[in-house]
Amino acid sequence: MSHDSIETDICVIGAGSGGLSVASGAVQMGARVVLIEAGEMGGDCLNYGCVPSKALIGAARRAQQVRQGGPGVAGQEPRIDFGAVKDHVSEVISTIAPHDSQERFETLGCTVIRAHARFTGPRELQAGATRVRARRFVIATGSSPMVPPIDGIEGSGYLTNETIFELRDAPGHLLIIGGGPIGLEMAQAHRRLGCEVTVIEGQKALAKDDPALSKVVLEQLRAEGVTILEESPALKIERDGDRVTVVTEAGRHGGTHLLVAAGRRINIGDLGLEAAGVDHDKAVHVGADLRSVSNRHVYAVGDAAGGMQFTHVAGYHAGIVIRSAVLGLPAKAKAAHLPWVTYTDPELAHVGLTEAQAREEHGGNIETHVVPMDGNDRAVATGQTAGLLKLVVLRGRPIGASIVGAHAGELIGMWAMAIVNRQKMSAIAGTVLPYPTLSELNKRGASAYFSPRLFDNSRVKTIVGLIQKYLP
């Protein structure tokens, strides 16, 4: 749809998770909405991130199940068709894509412009041949792979998450710079699909997670044959024909392909924010209401607002903006209840404060409780006993939870709900869960909190003794 000039209520820049959620909610509530996207509808998550990576991880997990076998079932080396795996990844994207498509949003009533947007003033921008003037703008431009300035990297033929899924042939030896969630997810998936893999991390791998839990993940990856080098910054990269070499202080590490997974940069550099009077550095400067601190007509969501860089955070931000910009109601974004998951096997999930963060904030008032996965009957029955739950509790309320183990990303939901609703540990302890399920791990966590209060308490024993003595 082509226009020379448009006046609208809300103009959303970026058709990723956050932008699509704002546009969908606003237009269905009756607001006039213009949605601008210069790249692929669905953004990074659909095309280069969450969706393709989880499809690849799923295929790799099936390969590993064949390799491992099980009780009474002999394992064998799987026959892997790497091109067919990539066809599966493409099919998954294609299946989900219609939900994020231009056609769907135009059917909802949005005006969709496929062009680059650039502000020309505090309340207007130019997108291709169209000038858009709006009451409110929402910057939802997401982020892109950050490529560190390593000597020789520009001529190395490196891959990022935006290009690695295009490979049709399996890498012989994949080198990965970056030991965060993306790097380790891709490392395990490619190793299980038959590739040699070396991860090179300048600091500690999975540094944002609790060390006791990240250790379980790293040990598993190493057991599967992934080489993980920590505290080994890449100093130089060399390309010689079909070979690429990463040079560190510890030595030279050669492979056939190089994946850079060393962080993200936020896509706000060419939006003309100065013309709009929008303060920013790496991200837009926003308040708790996600409004620009310098231009009240502009909001930012997801990566563009700074903070956690997750698809579900962008979706959460969208709800805050809809409440404020569409309904005119007060709304503020918080972060204490936002979970994240690393989709390795075992999975690593977290919500709230880590033990270290909690001790820094609350001192000696916190308690920690650890429950191993091997005490869960369902885990024992299915052979998924590697892992544990670690709880951080303050005055009877959970303020942090970390889980490493099978389906940790699903199990963390109970603690996310408890934290956002300020529930007490008694709410978890009082929940009746089906047996046998992995979710009983969470109830065992609550039991670990109450057990010393009930069973190792002399006062309780005295009271119970009196009750038993006089109870008719």
Residue stretches of the annotated binding site for NAD(+): 178-185, 201, 263
Q: Which of 216, 231, 456 is nearest to 345 (CA)?
A: 216
Q: Is the dihedral of CA 318, 323, 328, 334 positive or negative?
A: negative
Query: Rounded to the nearest 5 degrees, what angle is found at the Cα of 316, between the Cα atoms of 314 and 320?
Result: 110
- Sign of dihedral through CA atoms 211, 212, 216, 217? negative
Number of neighbouring beta carbons within 10 Å of residue 11: 30
Are 28 and 104 a contacting pair, CB within 8 Å?
no
Residue numbers belonging to the annotated binding site for FAD: 54, 141-143, 303
Q: Return all residues near 427 (Cβ < 8 A) that are at least 6 apart.
A: 418
Alpha-carbon distance of 200 to 247, in angstroms, equals 10
The per-residue DSSP string of 117-133 comes to EEEEETTEEEETTEEEE
User: What is the residue-wise DSSP string for 166-231?
Assistant: G--S--SEEEEE--SHHHHHHHHHHHHTT-EEEEE-SS-TTTTS-HHHHHHHHHHHHHTT-EEE-S
Distance of CA 423 to the CA centre of its chain: 24
Whose tokens are 């369902």? That residue is 378
Q: Annotated binding residues, as ranges?
A: 54, 141-143, 178-185, 201, 263, 303
DSSP state of 73: B
In angstroms, what CA-CA distances link 328 with 136, 289, 365?
Answer: 12, 12, 40
CA distances from 180 to 36, 58, 112, 213, 381 (A): 31, 19, 35, 14, 31
Distances (CA, A) of 144 to 37, 147, 456: 15, 9, 53
What does each C-alpha distance from 145 to 248, 283, 369 come to in angstroms? 22, 15, 37
Let me know: does 32 contact 134? Beta carbons within 8 Å.
Answer: no
* CB 222, CB 184: distance < 8 Å: no
Number of helices (H), then strands (E), in the chain: 15, 21
CA distance 397 to 8: 45
Strands 298-300 and 130-139, by their bridges, are parallel
Please work out, in degrees rounded to the nearest 5, the angle formed at the alpha carbon of residue 41 by the alpha carbons of 260 and 307. 55
Angle, helices 82-96 vs 50-68, to 10°: value is 140
